[in-house]
Amino acid sequence: RNSTELQDPDWLTFLRGSAVYTWEEVQRHCHRSDQWLVIDRKVYNITQWAKRHPGGIRVISHFAGEDATEAFVAFHLDPNFVRKFLKPLLIGELAPTEPSQDQGKNAVLVQDFQALRDRVESEGLLRARPLFFSLYLGHILLLEALALGLLWVWGTSWSLTLLCSLMLATSQAQAGWLQHDYGHLSVCKKSGWNHKLHKFVIGHLKGASANWWNHRHFQHHAKPNVFSKDPDINSLHVFVLGDKQPVEVVITIDLAWSMSFYLRFFCCYYPFFGFFGSVALISFVRFLESHWFVWVTQMSHLPMEMDHERHQDWLTMQLSATCNIEQSTFNDWFSGHLNFQIEHHLFPTMPRHNYHLVAPLVRALCEKHGVPYQVKTLQKGMTDVVRSLKKSGDLWLDAYLHK
């Protein structure tokens, strides 16, 4: 080849991608300073690029040495567009004799789930209804306005202050579910608009950081209930969870958005309660909201299986770590449709108003392959949280006393 051809980017990409590898070779590159992964049988070296990954270094690093195809498709609104940015990272492909799935995964199950995803896309179940989310945002803002208007018109008696607190806690909890929608890119067609609105809802309406949430939450979805990879169960042994952990025992803050929430809150409530009274009010609201949030999010995960990395396929991994709560109008609203936790984890970019449509299809696929699909009542979901914590505590105590 002449020098002009050798300098051509497409020709260089071809040269880099002409090598072939076995799964054994790929799996050796799973360290912090040496990371390869596979997408659609193509092998990529992400060692240096992982630091620039828009979703964060950790979430992509969790798939080092593995097949990341299913996660890649699940997390990106337009995988074909993202593939353009993978070209410089391409170093080869799997040898023709190698299976498409690693770690002995069930190829038929993986193919059936891909067929289900193709059907979901063709039926438009990944497209959001703007009116649904507009009305949802409207009911949050209405609750905020009513809480303030209540004090403005009728005063600050104990009973009215308590009612105001309940309304604010409700608006905060519902804003939490709405920021979750935008954070998962499930509302707008363009990622950029989702990110902008996510910052507004989580920052201005809740006083939290979008970057912090993204950093933690995408890891949770990538490897749910996997020790050292799911930050939701990494408690540094202050608390011990599951059956195994008890016996084994800088994120940039979106300061401007967060401060805008507290500035707005104190401007609204300082005239009624003063500085310390306003601090007490927001603390009580956070107390109520945090209990709401924890019960809803943990009843679908905490009682489920927790373990170290087992390199399962996407459907099996998500179903082992999640369960559903029965559908009802109240349960849908109370949980922000996270009573369909299974469907949400399988299709994280799906708008929540479509979960109930895909649920029968997911259940049928699980029955076909013998994958447990759990649905509980709201009451059982909450009592199972307590049972799970008690079991973990008993295991820890037994290990402590007999170690």
Give the pairing of strands 30-31 and 34-39.
antiparallel
- The overall average pLDDT reported for the chain is 88
Residue 9 reports pLDDT greater than 70: no
The pLDDT of 63-82, averaged and rounded, is: 92
pTM: 0.88
Amino acid at 291: H
Cα gap 255→93, rounded to integer Å: 43
When pLDDT is cut at 50, 70 and 90, the band that residue 282 belongs to is: very high
Question: Which pLDDT score is estimated for 403?
Answer: 63
Give alpha helix (H) positions in 200-353: 210-222, 245-248, 255-298, 314-321, 329-335, 341-346
Longest dimension (CA), the chain: 85
Tell me, what DSSP letter sits at residue 323? -
pLDDT tens string 337-368: 999 999 999 999 999 999 999 999 999 999 99
Beta bridge partners of 34: 31
Residue 245 reports pLDDT greater than 70: no
Cα gap 358→345, rounded to integer Å: 12
Element containing residue 91 per DSSP (H, E): strand 90-94
pLDDT tens string 296-350: 999 998 888 888 888 899 999 999 999 999 999 999 999 999 999 999 999 999 9
Structure tokens at 60: 């992509």
> How many CB atoms neighbour CB 399 within 10 A?
14
Cα gap 94→403, rounded to integer Å: 46
Tell me, what DSSP letter sits at residue 39? E
Cα gap 109→99, rounded to integer Å: 14
Half-sphere exposure of 348 (CA within 13 A, CB side): 26
Contact 324, 308 (CB under 8 A): no
Cα-only R_g, the chain:
24
Question: Which pLDDT score is estimated for 16?
Answer: 56
